[in-house]
Structure 1
Amino acid sequence: MTTRPDVSAPAGAVRSGRGRRPAAEVRESVLAAASALLFESGLAAVTFEKVAARAGASKMTLYKWWPTPGSLALDAYFHAVEGTLAFPDTGDVEADVRTQLRAFVGLVTGDASPVITGLIGAAQSDSVLAVAFAENYTRPRRLLAVERLGRAQRAGEIRADVDLEVVVDQLWGACYHRLLLPDQPLNRAFADALVDTLWRGLRP
């Protein structure tokens, strides 16, 4: 079963009546519109002109908030999937990592697969997107994982000598490897096998 983020944009994003919409409302409409275009038609469909028209916003507003359409697409992607990629903390770190890794695999093997692979590919030649990708997506996601693992380490669930940055690379890095070099399946069984195998070496 794959995971599809909710990327529906509100119909008629322009508020009826007079007066300017609050900036937060405009930003929400823009991100929803960009997400819908991204998941419907891919990265190339996310242009300032198309997003502005769909969101009922001005192109100048988009230029003020995002330096390139690629950086807008990245924000739109994370806006759509943030809830799916939330990292639980139930007090059982092995169960929490398994839950998060399953959610991640379900997301990137579903409708989000061409989106995330397209963004990763575009970041190789778009320096602005590459910086935004690192600052707004990969580093914050890594920090969430390291912080959750760190709490478990301090609670004695993970050995004190374990390098948590390496654990993140072993788990999520392995999934990205199979996503980008798909000669082996990326599925829930693989996510479970990663956790089962790794946790043997992490337990005190």
Structure 2
Amino acid sequence: MTESTTPRRGRGRRPAAVVRTEVLTAAGDLLLAEGLRAVTFERVAKEAGASRTTLHKWWPSPGALAAEAYFARSAPALGFADTGDLRADLVAQLTSFVRLVTAGGAGTALVELVGAAQIDPDLGDAWPQLYSLPRRELARARLRSAQRQGQLREDADLDIVVDQLWGACYHRLLVLRVPLEESLVPRLVDQALRGAACHPA
């Protein structure tokens, strides 16, 4: 009999950080390919070569795991540049978001996660902590930088600007269920900035 050349991935053989990364990768793959229902501790543990005990130790529920996996998967596509050109940076970031949830295939997962967060307490707690609030703070940080550079009024309400931009996208995606197209982004940014832009003296 020929021994398998595939290395066994037993417990204790990999650093915890490596195991966590592989679990999040497996959960993200399942979430995007098959939907939230596929993200169970049993299925993810099998795909990642980890134990269910480990998953239960790190996440209170499969929903909380799915939320962190979505954040890990989406983070590289949603970086927020600061080039000094606020409009260009907002258009670039919002376009990346729209592309992620349309061409990137993450839209269905996003809809399922937001919907499930309304009835799953663990997912409901994890979603803002692991995804929406961190993403919101990235936008606020970019807008604060623009304020310091005199590109936005000092009294501009940055939370309202964030709500106008990303809220419009979520409204179309989750409530209206109408196509979310990249062509919307420049118009959305221009409309939001008109109310916050500095006016010549």
TM, length-normalised to structure 1 = 0.89
Q: Which has the larger radius of gyration?
A: 2
Judge which range, 191-200 or 171-180, deviates more: 191-200
Amino acid at match of 2:150: G
- Quote how far apart the aligned CAs of 1:200 are: 2.2
Counterpart-to-counterpart distance in 2, 1:34 and 1:199:
38
Q: Does structure 1 conserve the Cα–Cα contact (< 8 Å) formed by 2:23 and 2:50?
A: yes
Q: CA RMSD in A?
A: 1.7
- Quote how far apart the aligned CAs of 1:196 are: 1.7
2:86 maps to what in 1? 93
Match of 1:104 among 91, 97, 102: 97
Q: Does structure 2 conserve the Cα–Cα contact (< 8 Å) formed by 1:123 and 1:133?
A: yes
Alignment map for 1:2-17 (pairs within 5 Å): 14-15=8-9
1:191 maps to what in 2? 185
Q: Does 1:81 align with 2:63?
A: no
Counterpart-to-counterpart distance in 2, 1:147 and 1:125:
31
Counterpart-to-counterpart distance in 1, 2:7 and 2:88:
40
Counterpart-to-counterpart distance in 1, 2:51 and 2:8:
11
Amino acid at match of 2:109: V
Q: Does 1:69 align with 2:69?
A: no
Q: Does structure 2 conserve the Cα–Cα contact (< 8 Å) formed by 1:13 and 1:55?
A: no
Amino acid at match of 1:187: E
1:34 maps to what in 2? 27
Mind listing any 5+ residue stretches in structure 1 that lack a counterpart? Answer: 1-11
Q: Does structure 2 conserve the Cα–Cα contact (< 8 Å) formed by 1:33 and 1:55?
A: yes
Q: Does structure 2 conserve the Cα–Cα contact (< 8 Å) formed by 1:13 and 1:54?
A: no
| Number of equivalences | 192
Q: Does 1:147 align with 2:147?
A: no
Q: Does 1:60 align with 2:53?
A: yes
Q: Does structure 2 conserve the Cα–Cα contact (< 8 Å) formed by 1:159 and 1:203?
A: yes
Counterpart-to-counterpart distance in 2, 1:117 and 1:13:
37
Q: Which runs of 4+ in 1 moved over 3 A?
A: 12-16, 182-185
TM, length-normalised to structure 2 = 0.90
Judge which range, 133-142 or 170-179, deviates more: 133-142
Counterpart-to-counterpart distance in 2, 1:87 and 1:160:
21
Q: Does 1:116 align with 2:106?
A: no
Counterpart-to-counterpart distance in 2, 1:163 and 1:75:
29
- Quote how far apart the aligned CAs of 1:101 are: 0.5
Ranked by relative contact order (alpha carbons within 8 Å, sequence separation 6 or more), the top structure is 1
The change in CA–CA distance for 1:61 and 1:19 in structure 2 (over 3 A counts) is closer
The change in CA–CA distance for 1:141 and 1:13 in structure 2 (over 3 A counts) is farther
Amino acid at match of 2:83: T
Mind listing any 5+ residue stretches in structure 2 that lack a counterpart? Answer: 1-5
Give the SS at the match of 2:195. Answer: helix
- Quote how far apart the aligned CAs of 1:172 are: 0.2
Give the SS at the match of 1:191. Answer: helix
Q: Does structure 2 conserve the Cα–Cα contact (< 8 Å) formed by 1:14 and 1:55?
A: no
What's the CA shift string for 1:84-132, capped at 9, x where partnerless?
0111111111111110011111112231111000000000111111111
The change in CA–CA distance for 1:155 and 1:58 in structure 2 (over 3 A counts) is same
